Structure 1
Amino acid sequence: MHLSRRNFTRLAALSSLTAATGGAAVFGMPAPALAANTAYVFGYFKETPNESGDSYALHLAVSTDGLNWRPLNQNNPVATPTAGTLGLRDPFILRKQDGTFVVLATDLRGRIFNENNQYLHVWDSTDLRSFTGYRRIRMHGLNTHTWAPTAFWVASRNQYAIVYSAYNGADVFMVNYTSDFRTVSTNQVYFSPGYPVLDADIVVDGSTFYMYYKNLADGLIYGARSSTGNPNSYSNYTSGLRQGNAMEAPLLIRSNTGSGWRLWGDSFSPVNNDYYAWSTSNIGGNSWTLLNQRDYTPPLNAKHGSIVGVTAAEYDGLVARWGLPSWVRLKSYNFPDRYIRHADNIGRIDAYPFDPHQDQLWRMVPGLADAAGVSFESVNFPGRFLRHSNYAIRLDANDNTATFRADATFTRVAGLADSSWSSFRSYNFPDRHLRHSGYVLRIDPISASSSATDRQDATFRVS
């Protein structure tokens, strides 16, 4: 049984956008003058190991670098299906030829993957601040699923292609063509290489169509390409990639700068929210460099989503409409899969995911002893703060004594291992910094002359 996918969308070059009528380009007219993309939006649904944080609706996060993400709307949904299964997976955001957006998603709620469905959810949006025209479109009449949609413009047809995973005697990719995301052509097989496949992501770069997908026979991610983008016209050109035990939902995106590419992969299991990413300067080659997990921070609990580039004005509009989170997460520098959390009132760093996932959420408030400093208030236990006691870090209720206020106050400084990160110096023991040791938090004397390990243990990313 296969999980559906996180299928990010490509970052289309705005220079290729043309004026459009009903989704079709108007030829012979100049492209509209559109601002360049400088930021990114991530659309996703959510799952956690014990299902307490599951949300089968559209969520959004924003980023200025395409690597580190901040959820919008406090990580609550911005759109929820009102028909079909009343839930979605694998939301895919596409910027259309006229500069507006369309959202496609799998019509599936929960983790029961043997339910067949012939439909996709669809919304329209001018700027991702609101979602209109909700509908479901029927993609085929087969007794099978319709998973993980991706869509892209095919100039030779003057139409969009919608490609998705389905079963047609084997696990294949199907395609339907459309001009308006309301009516679609008859489905046909798009890619059936002789082994089962899942989760296509297709990017058009110049005259070449690049498709990355999962080979279910060996669990690896492969890249294929075509000069036409026509059904069954792709040939593999990369060797297989994988990190961890299993992966799915490959995503190929180009940087907003127009230089360099990233390939993402999502963990196969909902109990493991790991993301992996590679980079390359040559999309046509077969040389991918694995990124360190400290270089990126996915949205909290995000699964199987999509990324689209947005302008500075669109980014500002999204933040104004939905708001940035009122809480932060603190990521370990030298164990970047681990976050500061409380467990049984002890401060520690643990590999995410874990439940309750709220144990890692903190409100950074003005320091209780000095407003120029910071204190960390638990989100799921309001009124309780991280404080040191005999140099060990605990989560305790604020008793409003001078000692508690001082113990719970820290001075935020440049990261001791990396100045772009942060370290936290104790307010009442200013020669000591917050650090982890054996994954447990404490304050110890650490300075720029301390060992590299000590400096790394005391460095965190606030995200």
Structure 2
Amino acid sequence: MPLSRRDFTRLAAMGALTTATGGATLLGAPSAALAANTAYVFGYFKETPNQSGDSYALHLAVSTDGLNWRPLNQNNPVVTPTAGTLGLRDPFILRKQDGTFVVLATDLRGRVFTENNQYLHVWDSTDLRSFTGYRRIRMHGLATHTWAPTAFWVASRNQYAIVYSANNGADVFMVNYTSDFRTVSANQVYFSPGYPVLDADIVVDGTTFYMYYKNLNDGLIYGARSSSGNPNSYTNYTSGLRQGNAIEAPLLIKNNSGSGWRLWGDSFSPVNNDYYAWSTSNVGANSWTLLNQRDYTPPLNAKHGSITGITAAEYDGLVARWGLPGWVRLKSYNFPDRYVRHANSIGRIDAYPFDPHEDQLWRMVPGLADAAGVSFESVNYPGRYLRHSGYAIRLDPSDNTAAFRADATFTQVAGLTDASWSSFRSYNVPDRYLRHSNYVLRIDPIGTGASDRQDATFRIS
């Protein structure tokens, strides 16, 4: 039977890819490093409500439990685009079949989403300690955007798929295939369910491809699956999920333990809460459970990122290369969307995010009155410390008197509600603890009541 024009075009495209890669055959099995993952890395960009903390570059955070994150490099960029719009959004980190990494990202700087752009930013990295081979790859020739890339290995093709959001008259997912993240096949529609969609994240587990995405009609996140991963082969299998006023950018990750999964969702706007998370023991079932916000702490100001498993050696290497923050945040136990901050020199807890976001950053230093204790120095007002005055907590400059040093010193103890958290007893009024009352900080005696003990319990993150 003679070849149709469609068959000829498809074979010609495959031939072009083979030529571009020198006829090389990629490995069909993942690196052994994949089986040894014991920690996680989170790649993201940053935004804050008043834009003072916006950063359209690649940021990294690490975690040993996949829930509580510590930014690297003092939450400064680790790499920044030097072409296109000179900014990125939606970074995606993929561990390739050879165990190294590739980073893909939307070529867009800022919050104006009307610009057409056919390119993605791309970097190579052996260990996320350095980034090489920076380039932009053109995904299509349409008058549309190229947003929110995700990538995954398709064993049946011996290639990677790059899936992204675009518009060809409707909001759809497009796909291009590649062997080297330099040359890509012609774009084609990957998922067009009859309603507009945005922000696919696709994870391959065994022989099943799981895709989570946002339905723009109802604003909910849905899960779909396919046994082949081929274009237009997915079937929805979950009910819609949403928390807050709006949600997008679903992020699906299998636990390193091999048991259980988590799903993250990014708030639609930086003026809302930044992330929500769900868990399930069976990703193939419609059974996601919303996690309490006290169970997780996203990276500070993080937006639309990706999570990848890493080994213990890679975790140690990232910390050695980029360093952990020189500051901490204190999360309220019973109001876990609120963090200790100063405002007009008053200590209080407020719902995050807020500006200036630095108001919640503290250097935990040896106690000013006793090095066995701790004192909290403001990051954005160095030399000013949290101290009690008339039992109320203020942020005041140190006058280096014995009275001030004592007022600004606390003894850190196991959390009164949860021993894995912390409570802080006043150094010079030791029957009183740091607590919040009507969101304002003070020191008070703490009784046996659950509410008081929760008010005096904080997570150091």
User: Which bracket does the TM-score occupy, shorter chain normalised?
Assistant: over 0.9
In 2: Cα distance, 1:99 partner to 1:307 partner: 16
Q: Given residue 367 of structure 2, which amino acid in structure 1 is its aligned partner?
A: G
Residues 347-366 of structure 1: matches in 2 within 5 Å?
Answer: 347-366=347-366
- Aligned residues of 2:118 and 2:140 also touching (Cα < 8 A): yes
What residue in structure 1 maps to residue 196 of structure 2?
A: 196
Over residues 22-76 of structure 1, what are the superposed CA-to-partner deviations in whole Å (9 max), with x where a residue is unaligned?
985345x996576600000000000000000000000000000000000000000
In 1: Cα distance, 2:256 partner to 2:364 partner: 31
- Aligned residues of 1:46 and 1:302 also touching (Cα < 8 A): yes
What residue in structure 1 maps to residue 36 of structure 2?
A: 36
In 2: Cα distance, 1:319 partner to 1:151 partner: 26
More deviation in 386-395 or 262-271?
Answer: 262-271
In 1: Cα distance, 2:45 partner to 2:284 partner: 31
Over residues 324-344 of structure 1, what are the superposed CA-to-partner deviations in whole Å (9 max), with x where a residue is unaligned?
000000000000000000000
What residue in structure 2 maps to residue 60 of structure 1?
A: 60
Q: Unmatched 5+ residue regions in structure 1?
A: 1-19
Displacement of 1:270: 2.2
Q: Given residue 435 of structure 2, which amino acid in structure 1 is its aligned partner?
A: R
- Aligned residues of 1:173 and 1:198 also touching (Cα < 8 A): yes
- Secondary structure (helix, strand or coil) at the match of 1:453 reads helix
- Aligned residues of 1:153 and 1:160 also touching (Cα < 8 A): yes
* Cα pair distance change 1:151/1:385, threshold 3 Å: same
Displacement of 1:272: 1.7
In 2: Cα distance, 1:34 partner to 1:60 partner: 19
* Cα pair distance change 1:139/1:270, threshold 3 Å: same
What residue in structure 2 maps to residue 454 of structure 1?
A: 452
Q: Unmatched 5+ residue regions in structure 2?
A: 1-20
Q: Given residue 249 of structure 2, which amino acid in structure 1 is its aligned partner?
A: A
Displacement of 1:21: 10
* Cα pair distance change 1:214/1:390, threshold 3 Å: same
- Secondary structure (helix, strand or coil) at the match of 1:313 reads helix
Higher Cα Rg, which structure: 2
Residues 150-299 of structure 1: matches in 2 within 5 Å?
Answer: 150-299=150-299
More deviation in 197-206 or 31-40?
Answer: 31-40
Residues 63-462 of structure 1: matches in 2 within 5 Å?
Answer: 63-447=63-447, 450-462=448-460
- Secondary structure (helix, strand or coil) at the match of 2:315 reads helix
* Cα pair distance change 1:87/1:368, threshold 3 Å: same
Q: Given residue 181 of structure 2, which amino acid in structure 1 is its aligned partner?
A: F
Q: Higher relative contact order at CA 8 Å, sep ≥6: structure 1 or structure 2?
A: 1
Displacement of 1:251: 1.3
1:45 maps to 2:13: no
In 2: Cα distance, 1:174 partner to 1:71 partner: 32
**% same residue:** 88
Aligned residues between the structures: 441
In 2: Cα distance, 1:94 partner to 1:24 partner: 19
In 1: Cα distance, 2:175 partner to 2:288 partner: 28
Displacement of 1:271: 1.6
* Aligned-residue RMSD, C-alpha: 1.5
Q: Which runs of at least 4 in structure 1 moved beyond 4 Å after TM superposition?
A: 20-24, 29-35
TM (norm. structure 1) is 0.93
- Secondary structure (helix, strand or coil) at the match of 1:316 reads helix
- Aligned residues of 2:31 and 2:98 also touching (Cα < 8 A): no
TM (norm. structure 2) is 0.94
Over residues 191-231 of structure 1, what are the superposed CA-to-partner deviations in whole Å (9 max), with x where a residue is unaligned?
00000000001111111111110000000111111110000
- Aligned residues of 2:30 and 2:98 also touching (Cα < 8 A): no
- Aligned residues of 1:23 and 1:96 also touching (Cα < 8 A): no
- Secondary structure (helix, strand or coil) at the match of 2:405 reads helix
